[in-house]
Amino acid sequence: MKKISLSEAQAVPFDLDGRFLFRSSNNEIVHLTLKAGEVIPEHSNPFDVVFFIIEGSATLKTDNQSESLIVNDSVYINRNEKRALFNPTDKIVRLLVFKMM
């Protein structure tokens, strides 16, 4: 067993408040906090992703749709699918990002 506290977890290597909660060769779990108005610009990744909202509400835009996400919502994104994530509110959004490589 290996316990990782959020406060001690390694930061992600980009300009977001993200922490690695778990990493292996096939999977990652990242705890991500988006400040009010913060945006993750459109991008794609060569792996599948699931977002799970644990606090606040966010807007996810993909190639062909836009979806509002609230607490306890999860959404699956196919590898290589373009997406952008927005916090359109004046409150913090916290989510878990599950990466399946």
Look at residues 79, 72, 78, 77 and name the one whose alpha carbon lies nearest to residue 95. 72
Please, how many CA atoms are within 13 Å of residue 76, restricted to the half-sphere of its CB?
3
Structural domains counted in the chain: 1
Answer yes or no: is 4 within a domain: no
- Reported pTM: 0.95
CATH code of the domain containing 51: 2.60.120.10
Q: pLDDT tens, 46-95?
A: 999 999 999 999 999 998 899 999 999 999 999 999 999 999 999 999 99
Answer yes or no: is 1 within a domain: no
Which residues in 33-42 are b (16+ Cβ under 10 Å) and which e? bbeeebebee
* Band of residue 45 on the pLDDT scale cut at 50, 70, 90: very high
Distances (CA, A) of 46 to 37, 51, 90, 99: 27, 16, 32, 10
Answer yes or no: is 23 within a domain: yes
Answer yes or no: is 2 within a domain: no
- The range of the structural domain enclosing residue 76 comes to 9-100
Residues 32 and 17 sit within 8 Å (Cβ to Cβ): yes
